[in-house]
Every structure is written in C-alpha cells, then in structure tokens.
Amino acid sequence: MAYLFNTPDEIAAMLDAIGADSIDELFSQIPDRLQLDGPLDLPGGLSEPALEAHLRQLAAANSGTAARICLMGGGVYDHFIPAAVDEIASRGEFYTAYTPYQAEASQGSLQAFFEFQTLICQLTGMDISNASLYEAGTAVSEAVFMAMRVTRRHGRVVVLGSLHPEYQQVLETYLDNLECQLEIVATPNGFADVSIVSEALDDTTCCLVIQHPNFFGGLEDVAPLCQAAHDAGSLAVVCFDPLSLGLLKSPADCGADIAVAEGQALGIPAQYGGPFLGLLTCRKEFVRQMPGRLIGQTTDREGRDCYVLNLQAREQHIRREKATSNICTNQGLLALRATVYLALLGREGLNEVSQLCCRKAHYAAQRLAELPGIELMFDRPFFKEFTIRCRDGAKSVIDRAAAAGFDLGPTLARFPRLTASLGDAAAQETLLVAVTEQRTREEIDGLVDALATEPAKLSSQP
C-alpha cells in the first residue's frame, strides 16, 4: 500500500475541525518522559545475509519447553498437544478463513465456533458460551461489566486476593476511569474466608470474582462463596482451569452465574506469553448482556443446517457506543485448536489428563517438602499447582534448578500486589510449581536430587 501523506493545508484543516492548535497538542496527555525528543538511537542498516545471520543468532538463544523440563506455573502451562491439533488448525480453510460477518462465505468457521461453544458449555455445565475472547484477564473484566449490566449496580466489585494478580491489574485498568470501586479481599492463608467475604458484600456490589483453583494453586470453597454473592443480590463470577473440570465440580454446579477461563491449556502452546484464548460462559437469562461473538444454528430456505451470527444488535459494529462491549471478534484459530483438542480427548481423556496432573503434582509436592529448607506455603488442597517456601530464597532455588535443566516459578515477589499482602520476606522466599501430565516420575525425582545437592562453593583463589 502506498504511503499517502497529508499536506500542511490538510493538517491545518483537520486540526481546525477538532479544535486543536497543533499535532503536538494531540499528544499532550502522554508524559514528556515517554515522548521522543529526537530520532531513535538505532544502529546502521545491515545487508540481507548479515541480517539473516544476526536473526538466526538471536533465535538460537531461545529455549522452549521442548528443550528443558518445565514446571512453571502462574497461568501458562506445559501440557501435551496432540499432533492432530496442529495439523487441522494449519489447514488453509481455517488458517485463511474469511471473516464470519458474511456468514454465507464462512460456514466452515462458523460451524467450528458453534462446536467450540457446545464443548465449552458441556465442560462447564453453563447454558451459553460465546465464540471466545482474547485471554483470561480481559474475560474477567468483561464478566464484571456484564454483571454491572445485569444487576444494574455500578458501585462496587469484590475480588478475592487469590485471583491472579495480573487479572486484578487488568480489571483495575478497565475500571480506572469509572466510578465503580474495586475491593480486594485479602487471602493471607492462600484461600478466602467465606465469613470475611460475606461482610465485604453489600447492596451496591455487582459481583464477586472467584478463581478456582486459585493463583496459589489451592482450591476455594466455591459453592458457599457463590451463595454469599447471591445472598447480597450480586452475581458470582468464577474463573476456572478448564482441565481441572475432569475432576472438580463444574462452575454451574457450584452456583456460578458467569464462568471465565484462560483456555491456553486446551491445545495452545506457551509461545512466549500469547496469543491465548479467553473463555466466557453464562446462564441463558444473561445472554443479551454477553460480549463477543455468538454463533447459532438454523436452517436455510432449502431446509439445510447452516450457521449464523446471533444477536448482533448488541455488538459494537451495529450498536456503537451502546454495545455490550467493544469486543466484537474472537480468537478464531485458537478457539479451533481448543475445539480439536477437546474433541480428541473426550470425557474419558479429559478425566485421565486431570488425574495425571493431580497425582503427579501431589507426588512432586511431597518430594519437594522432604528437602531441608523447603515447605508447602499453604495447607490447602490443590489440583496441579502449588506454592512452596524456600528458606534460602526463591531465586536461589530457581537458579539451582535451572542449572540442572528444570524451570520453576514464577516467584511471588514478581507481583507487587502479593508482596504487599504477604510481606516482602515471604514473597522473596515463595514460588509456584506446576506439574502437568507431561512430567514423569524420573523428572520429578531428578529435580529433587538436583535441589538436594549442595550448591558449589566459590573458590577464594584468583
């Protein structure tokens, strides 16, 4: 596409139309320290062979989960991905699919999204699923806004402190310019006290946000928490781990009104932090307040099954500023990956993966707790992830494990919100460990052996 510049006269006309004196005035809200006052300090250009060699050298420094043993947690996990997921998702019919806004040209994609919605509803027990959102952080925020519309309450949002701190941060950003108050209920013992949460809820609260399993890996008392929200006339928003539902009660069975999740565990590689897949489901009476795309099944004039975009009047491209959300798209290719993954596993496969995660995680926790100076941070049931406290410091343990080829973490000190609530000393000593079905007994024992070995002493000789 050619670069079409604006003439000085055109620029002046546009500035006059919006009431600005200069282009610099348009950037006045950006702090001076973030604005460039000169050209970027970039090196000179390279020839094509030199540039390619340089990029190959940089790429060679990357080390993914295939090259090392990953026990890292915190929201992104190293689960096995069947080869069929990559094969189907990379087919040209899906990889270059046309936008579903012209449904007659998008029947294959729409059918895949419809099946995705069906699978997510079966997984969660909820009535309605949309065709996906961006990732869990925005899914939590969209669920909160949805709760505001349903309850017509805009005063307060109550969030458990055991919700992922990055999800909290995203929600805080979304609420920053609104009058709604965000209240975070502390969870110093690694889970929420129902009586304390109940006291935090009142008749101005639109919803209670619960993560289960929570950020520390522990299981919450979800049903009583949901009931506490309902007793206050609020909605219960549950953020769940999709693979945990092979063992744990579904969000619907626990009383959730809206259920959201990060879908990365469903056939999506870690891929350096994204893109990922946001899941959002709800009870059917709230469907008109749901953000994102919603695919429906109908018949054409010849009686054949076909697929359409339902209830588009609530979306941004039609309703503009009165839309339920400014999200009127979905993570199509990643939703397809999740669909293929869930279809391949089925109910029995999902249960098996969940069992393996749970059993291996408990074995790893037991073995690590045998080491001197390492203990479980919280006395709480967990699924596949747990928190350990290391008396020699979390960074020391992570470094020793890394030297032996094992990746652990992150430390809780990485998250300022947790440092403030747990205390700096505890946060510096604490880290997350996640064990998926990928890990073997030999790998777990190897990690324990590596951490049991005394670190080498530095020589005082020059």
Element (H, E) at 337: helix 332-369
Task: Provide mean pLDDT across the span 356-373.
Answer: 98
Rg (CA), the chain: 25
Which two three-digit tokens encode residue 71?
Answer: 């026990």
Lowest mean pLDDT among 244-248, 252-256, 271-275, 376-380: 271-275
* CA separation for the pair 113, 431 (Å, rounded): 37
Q: 329: closest CA among 269, 275, 283?
A: 275
Position 459 scores a pLDDT of 41
pLDDT digits (tens, 9 = 90+) for 5-48: 889 999 999 999 999 999 989 988 899 899 888 888 898 999 99
Confidence (pLDDT) at 328: 78
**Reported confidence tier of residue 64, pLDDT bands at 50, 70, 90:** confident
Please state whether the peptide bond connecting residue 410 to the residue before it is cis, i.e. omega within 30 degrees of 0. yes
Q: Hunting for tokens 């919100």 — which residue is that?
A: 417
Banded model confidence at residue 419, pLDDT cuts 50, 70, 90? confident
CB 316, CB 281: distance < 8 Å: no
Rounded CA gap, 306 and 205, in Å?
41
Fold for the domain defined by 83-340: Aspartate Aminotransferase; domain 2 (3.40.640)
pLDDT classification of 287: cutoffs 50, 70, 90: very high
- Name the residue type at position 136: A
Write the burial class of residue 330 (CB in 10 Å: 0-12 exposed, 13-18 middle, 19+ buried).
buried
Give pLDDT, residue 455.
63
Whether residue 456 is predicted with pLDDT greater than 60 in this model: the reply is: no
Percent of the chain with pLDDT over 70: 97
pLDDT at 95: 83
pLDDT of residue 462 exceeding 70, the answer is no
Q: What is the pLDDT of residues 149-184, one digit of tens each?
A: 999 999 999 999 999 999 999 999 999 989 999 999
Q: What secondary structure, in 3-state letters, does 125-177 show? A: CCCEECCCECCHHHHHHHHHHHHHHHHCCCCEEEEECCCCHHHHHHHHHHHCC
Strand segments, DSSP code E, in 201-353 are: 205-212, 235-240, 258-262, 278-282, 295-299, 305-309
Give the pLDDT score at 164: 98
Domain boundaries along the sequence of the chain: 69-78+346-452, 83-340
What are the CA-CA distances from residue 391 to residues 241, 394, 421 (Å)? Answer: 30, 8, 19
Compute the CA torsion angle 301, 307, 312, 314 (nearest 10 deg). 130
pTM of the model: 0.88
Q: Is the peptide bond before 213 cis (omega within 30 degrees of 0)?
A: yes
Decide which of 460 and 349 is more confident: 349
Contact 157, 144 (CB under 8 A): yes
Q: How large is the average pLDDT for residues 260-282?
A: 94
Q: Which residues contact 369 (CB under 8 A, 6 or more apart)?
A: 375, 376, 388
CATH of 69-78+346-452, one of 3.40.50.300, 3.90.1150.10, 3.50.50.60, 3.40.50.720: 3.90.1150.10
pLDDT band of 62, cuts 50, 70, 90: confident
Is beta strand 295-299 parallel, antiparallel or unpaired with respect to 305-309? antiparallel
pLDDT higher than threshold 60 for residue 366: yes
What is the residue-averaged pLDDT of the chain? 93
pLDDT for residue 213 is more than 50:
yes
Q: What does the pLDDT read at residue 460?
A: 40
pLDDT computed for residue 458 by the predictor? 39
Q: Is 123 helix (H, G, I), strand (E, B) or coil?
A: helix
Q: Is the pLDDT of residue 302 over 80?
A: yes
At 461 the pLDDT is 44
Segment 374-395 mean pLDDT: 96
For residues 214-233, give the mean pLDDT.
98
pLDDT-based confidence at residue 2 (cuts at 50, 70, 90): low
Strand pairing partners for 382?
218
Angle formed at CA 58 by CA 55 and CA 61, multiple of 5 degrees: 150
